[in-house]
Structure 1
Amino acid sequence: MTAVLLTDRDRFPFGPEDHAALAQAGVALIELDGHDPDAIAAAGAEAAGILVYHAKLTAELIARLPLLRVIARCGSGYDNVDVAAARARGIEVVYVPDYGVDDVADHTLALLLAVARRVPASDRALRDGRWLAYEQLGTMRRLRGSVLGLLGFGRIAQAVGVRARAFGMELLVHDPAIGDDVLAAAGARRAEDLGALLDGSDALSLHVPLTPATRGLIGAGQLARLRPGALLVNTSRGEIVDEAAVQAALASGHLGGAGLDVFEHEPLDPDSSLIEMESAVLTPHSAAFSEEALAEVRGRALADALRVLAGRPPRDPAPEARA
């Protein structure tokens, strides 16, 4: 009997609809808590499909899954899957390109507001019995009239832009792949290069995929070009940002605050100095975690995997690796 392996079952279990889809297709389910590579290789030895959340499907691990025919990435990013290695072995890779657009956009604005208005610091102080005065809270920011720099302007960034404009923010965008018509419809200005984006932003929000070109793209030099007191929000990938540089910029006060949902190493080290910084608002890579979004992403990824296993073309094949 054909079987598929669900990784990270402890965090992302299937619902009744998913089990019904498997039963209708006549496909068995193998479930695995977590995503340890050796555990995946053992549990997936008989699997024709695998559903991936946080697991890293390297060429080496893919080679240890002899019956594999499809890898379904439960998310819009697929940098944790070696697509080229999979396709070289005749294995299809599918993903959910528009997963969690509204959810991540909402979370991005929530982080921006939380940082600008010092919400977590105020909450912690009150719970500790302290009623902080203005000078104790630190500088708070009005969003109206400020410039939100958007690095990348895909689905999520465009949704962020709609929300930011509702708060009266101006949009400055750097994304060479986006046409002037899209920017005009969004009410956004174009920054011709990254430097222009950094120079002109009161807050910077990152919305680019993790590729060799974007890894470490925002470091000390880039942060220094932001306006003094600028805010940083990252809901894309942690490796795009030099975390030590962010910590240093926050400590110096040049960076007024940072809202981070993603980190260079996850889970975040409990000893990270970011945890002690009042100007940092941190969430556990949870921007897309709504009940509705998670039900949709697992259902669509599973449906596409079953489509491939039935000999039909996938709805959302992952694009070839990006430079």
Structure 2
Amino acid sequence: MATNKKKLLIVETMPQDGWAVFEARGDIDAVRFSNAISAADFNALLRAQAPVHGVALGATAFGKTELESSGGIEVVARMGVGFDAVDVAAMTAHRIPVMTTGVANSPSVAEAALFMMLTLAKRAAELDTMVKAGQWGKRLGAIPYDLYGKTVLIVGFGRIGTRTARRCQAMEMQVLVYDPLKSAAEIEVAGCTAVSDLDAALPGADFVTLHCPKTPQTVRMFDAARLQRMKPSAYLINTARGGIVDEAALHAALTSGALAGAGLDVFEKEPAPGDNPLFRLDNVITAPHLAGVTSEALDRMGLQTARNIVSVFDGTPVRENVVNHEIFG
């Protein structure tokens, strides 16, 4: 093997479109690893393959220890848009770009958020059970709701939030947006109403859907006090990250009648344990952190992850997909 080849560790879920990018080059040696690998085994693999110049990660964490084990990392790429499992500060200190797949799975997450709104409003799970149980006569006790004419509050107006807004507008909903990092002009040119005070906006929303990153500022953003500000008839949708919603407080709100229902794709602890009390509630629908994982999204994410990595090696990083822009300063 040529000594000037770049060594990569690539998560085994990388689709073929991504592998094709690596296979088309003669300067890359890529090794697959399991997305379920333990931290200890991953570090052992890094040391065994060192120097490792790039990684494409699923759920695997990457921090100071992994950086040292790699012996030469040049790029850390996530096959997705979240990066809370990566120690961004540590990578920035060594001027290593942390990259995500940008818009690759944004349409999929936006569709999932709308799906959860519709599933809850149309009481799909209840009605399906009713029919299959031969309880047709009970149908008038579970009348669905329309999205038409309702108000949705979108928290976070980035790649996913903007697409969710367009889908809600297609349902003829009034769209409010809270995002302190976006100007009111930017929000309003998209046909939405900007709100600067989240607490003041919550009582007017029929649906609240979360599309913000998990940061120290957003952890438990929706705590007991904030959930109490929502309408008793409102629904909360979280396809962003677990930990943004206080699950104990959410359970209390749902069981006390302070909130009508919730759609959750993400949880404080993942995989979510089967004894999570939220799972016993009929007004909660769930998914296993799969909102951004469709067949098409996987293909798009795999291709973009591969392109991200080789762009760094070629000296032309795809800057819009770099999380830590300060490395270019």
In the superposition, the TM-score normalised over structure 1's length comes to 0.91
Other-structure match for 2:263:
259
Cα displacement string for residues 107-138 of structure 1 (whole angstroms, at most 9, x for unaligned residues): 1000000011111222233334443624653x
Structure 1 residues without counterparts, runs of 5 or longer: none
CA contact 1:83–1:320 (8 Å) conserved in 2: no
**What secondary structure sits across from 1:84 in the alignment?**
helix
Is the contact between residue 151 and residue 173 of structure 2 (CA under 8 Å) also seen in structure 1? yes
CA contact (8 A) 2:263 2:285 kept: yes
Superposed displacement of residue 61, structure 1? 2.8
User: In structure 2, what is the equivalent of residue 14 of structure 1?
Assistant: 15
Answer yes or no: is 1:64 the counterpart of 2:77.
Answer: no
**Structure 1 residue 23 and structure 2 residue 23: aligned?**
yes
- Judge conservation of contact 2:75–2:98 (CA < 8 Å) in 1: yes
Partner residue, 1:142: 146
1:150 and 1:312 mapped to 2: Cα distance? 34
Q: Distance in 1 between matches of 2:167 and 2:18?
A: 33
Of 87, 91, 96 in structure 1, the residue corresponding to residue 92 of structure 2 is: 87
Contact 1:173 1:197 (8 Å CA) reproduced: no
Aligned match of 2:158 in 154, 158, 170? 154
Question: Residue 127 of structure 2 contacts residue 139 of structure 2 at CA under 8 Å; is this kept in 1?
Answer: no
Question: Given residue 45 of structure 2, which amino acid in structure 1 is its aligned partner?
Answer: A
1:133 aligns to what SS in structure 2?
Answer: helix
The structure-2 alpha-carbon separation of the partners of 1:38 and 1:192, relative to structure 1 and needing over 3 Å to count, comes to same
1:234 is matched with which residue: 230, 235, 238? 238
Deviation, 1:272, is 0.9
Aligned to 1:35: 37
1:312: how far off?
A: 4.1
Deviates more, 1:73-82 or 1:110-119: 73-82
Q: Which moved more, 1:147-156 or 1:310-319?
A: 310-319
CA pair 223-143 structure 1, distance change in 2 beyond 3 A: same
Runs of 4+ in structure 1 off by over 4 angstroms are: none
- Contact persistence 2:8–2:55 (CA under 8 A): yes
Are 1:101 and 2:112 counterparts? no
- Choose from 298, 302, 326 the match for 1:298: 302
Percent of paired sites with the same residue:
32
Cα gap change, 1:13 to 1:178, in 2 (>3 Å): closer
Give yes or no for the alignment of 1:220 onto 2:224: yes
Q: 1:170 to 1:31 in 2, by over 3 A?
A: same
Q: How many pairs does the alignment contain?
A: 316
Distance 1:22 1:183 in 2: 39
Name stretches of at least 5 consecutive residues in structure 2 with no aligned partner. Answer: none
Secondary structure of 1:124 counterpart: helix
Out of 113, 118, 141, the position equivalent to 2:118 is: 113
The structural deviation recorded for 1:209 is: 0.8
Q: Cα offset for 1:220?
A: 0.8
Aligned residues of 1:35 and 1:54 also touching (Cα < 8 A): no
Q: TM-score, normalization: structure 2? A: 0.89
Give the drift of 1:59: 2.2
Aligned to 1:249: 253
Task: Give the whole-Å Cα distance in 1 for the aligned partners of 2:76 and 2:132.
Answer: 46
Pair 1:72–1:221, CA change in 2 (3 A) = same
Shifted more, 265-274 versus 307-316: the winner is 307-316
CA 1:28–1:127 in 2, change beyond 3 Å: closer, same or farther? farther
SS at match of 2:260: strand
Equivalent of 2:177, from 158, 169, 173?
173
Q: Residue 255 of structure 1 aligns to a residue in which SS? A: coil
Equivalent AA in structure 1 for residue 193 of structure 2: R
Once the two structures are overlaid, the 10-residue window that deviates more, 310-319 or 22-31, is 310-319
